[in-house]
Structure 1
């Protein structure tokens, strides 16, 4: 088994950590993980796709070995994706993303017209700007954002993390390979042998605020405004997928995406939860390849 090549894009202090599976020269596929995770959680999917594609994945800002800046708005993440594509000189990119990482790709497709051949987005975080509501987060949403601050950040060892997470409902259906990849690369060793989350509770809470604002239709953006109107201008085919066992809000947001994106189709992963690529990687690989066949260029 060949390990992925690790490198980074950008200057010190603003680097984006990258993985590459497979040889250069093949059509590029760019994989973007969801909130809280790292590029390595794509490993099982990426290894299979590497027979056809040069597969890249990034640690999103605030995650893994990437930079930890002060802002985590949707366009910040989308700009990072554009930085990667420009730095690597990628064209005809197959974008494959999960949750908020799927949103990164959708927004990047508008920022870089003509650079993507197709997008495969699993339960993206979406608001419908046509139905925006006034006001901020309600008490329940605020409680969920603040709940991230109570997440345990340090553990005695990587094995201690794995044993705790293996029994947690959010990870119980993950493959062992995917969970070990997250534990190995999502936690940084400390000097005393303990390990600490790379995406700290404080960073995760900062990320979750705009996510919950989008979920509840109150996101207004920053000085750049609300970016979701740009989804109506995406110039490539997009497949929006949902998972049968995930929460209702993910299906609501997927329906919002479908209503906004011009060249859109849908797929449901039966028997899977929100993290389908880490639960059923073979099914994701098959679906990704099927979309490529339908829109071969």
Structure 2
């Protein structure tokens, strides 16, 4: 059983960075090039690593997250791949929109493919989407399969129809402002709630989740995104996947119980590959980053 989520992951460090292993420090030191690209009226944050002309790999983060959730993962692939990550509109360093949709997020994906030059080598790119990021990834694997070499959905939970999401949760109109960075960091949580052994990763993604505003620090994501978001029925998309595909999930993920996995596998084409990451919760790349890298490398090698 997973450890319960502590009251505050980062509070005990009082704003200081937790100690980190050498592999993590080396990965973060391989800093990406950062830019912003215009997509349908919004500026989208884009991070890139690796040599233009290598096969393209685009990393797509989950709900309320940002592109730097991948900045300790992408460097492991940058020797052999031209890598990129975006922050979805309404999240990270990207602009907020009046409304959000699967079609707009697909436009952000392919604008990033073009801007990052992921196709220059003449090979179609692969998308890797975590959690919510797997939903636009799935949409692209159905509606734009001819533009992709493959898709990987990482702990992207699609429930059986009788347990399907019924509507957005209510949220405050604005994110809370904290007086200091230390106070804001102490409030950082993983969602859904879980424990975290790799607090140096939690600290890294927490700092990238915050921005300084008048009166202190606040979260970057748009709190009203789910009140203004439209996505097709994801269950109906599963049988229509039309490019090579794989699903990865954490062995103890609360969002991927056997019932959900069986439903998804039963709806998907038989060719979809499956990888379980041992000793991982929902946030697979946070819980077991090096095992995640190894598992993804194996999948990608099979599509070479």
From 242, 254, 264, the counterpart of 1:257? 264
Question: 2:227: which partner in 1?
Answer: 206
1:242 Cα shift? 2.0
- Work out whether residues 44 and 177 of structure 1, in 8 Å CA contact, stay in contact via their aligned partners in 2: no
Shift of residue 132, structure 1, vs aligned partner: 7.3
How big is the shift at 1:259? 2.6
Secondary structure of the 1:41 match is helix
Measure, in 2, the Cα distance between the counterparts of 1:64 and 1:93. Answer: 23
- Taking the aligned partners of 1:171 and 1:18, their CA distance within structure 2 comes to 28
CA displacement 1:223-253 (0-9 Å, x = unmatched): xx54653443323221112212221556544
Contact 2:157 2:255 (8 Å CA) reproduced? no
Q: Pick closer, same or farther for the CA change 1:18–1:253 going to 2, 3 Å.
A: farther
Q: Does 1:112 align with 2:112?
A: no
Whether 2:90 is the aligned partner of 1:62: answer yes
TM-score (norm 1): 0.78
Matched with 1:241 is 248
* Structure with higher helix content: 1
Going from structure 1 to structure 2, the CA distance change for 1:174 and 1:165 (only over 3 Å counts) comes to farther
Q: Which residue is 2:154 aligned to? A: 122
Residue in 2 that maps onto 1:72: 100
Q: Is the 8 A contact 2:246 2:272 kept in 1?
A: yes
Matches of 2:157 and 2:191, distance apart in 1: 23
8 A Cα contact 2:249 2:256, kept in partner: no
Distance (whole Å) between structure 1 residues aligned to residue 218 and residue 288 of structure 2: 28
Contact between 1:123 and 1:240, CA under 8 Å: does it hold in 2? Answer: yes
Q: CA deviation at 1:62?
A: 0.7
Q: Rate the CA distance shift 1:255–1:70 in 2: closer, same or farther, 3 A.
A: farther
Alignment-derived partner of residue 218 in structure 2: 196
Contact 1:171-1:179 within 8 A present in 2 as well: no
The aligned counterpart of 1:161 is 184
Contact 1:6 1:18 (8 Å CA) reproduced: yes
**RMSD across aligned positions (CA):** 3.1
The question of whether the paired residues in 2 share the 8 Å contact of 1:30 and 1:57 is answered with yes
Indicate the larger mover: 269-278 or 154-163. 154-163
Give 3-state SS (helix, strand or coil) of 2:93's partner: coil
Contact 2:83/2:118 (<8 A) preserved: no
Q: Quote the residue 2:134 is aligned against.
A: 102
Helix, strand or coil for the counterpart of 1:259?
helix
Judge which range, 155-164 or 82-91, deviates more.
Answer: 82-91
> Which residues in structure 2 correspond to 1:16-31 (within 5 Å)?
16-31=44-59
80-89 or 111-120: bigger deviation: 80-89
Segments of 5+ residues of structure 2 without an aligned counterpart are 1-28
Match of 2:12 in 1: none
Equivalent of 2:79, from 18, 28, 51? 51
Q: Matched residue of 2:100: which SS?
A: coil
Conserved? CA contact 1:4–1:21, under 8 Å: yes
Number of residues of Structure 1 aligned to a counterpart in Structure 2 = 271
Cα distance in 2 for residues equivalent to 1:169 and 1:259? 25
Structure 1: segments with no counterpart, 5+ residues: 211-220
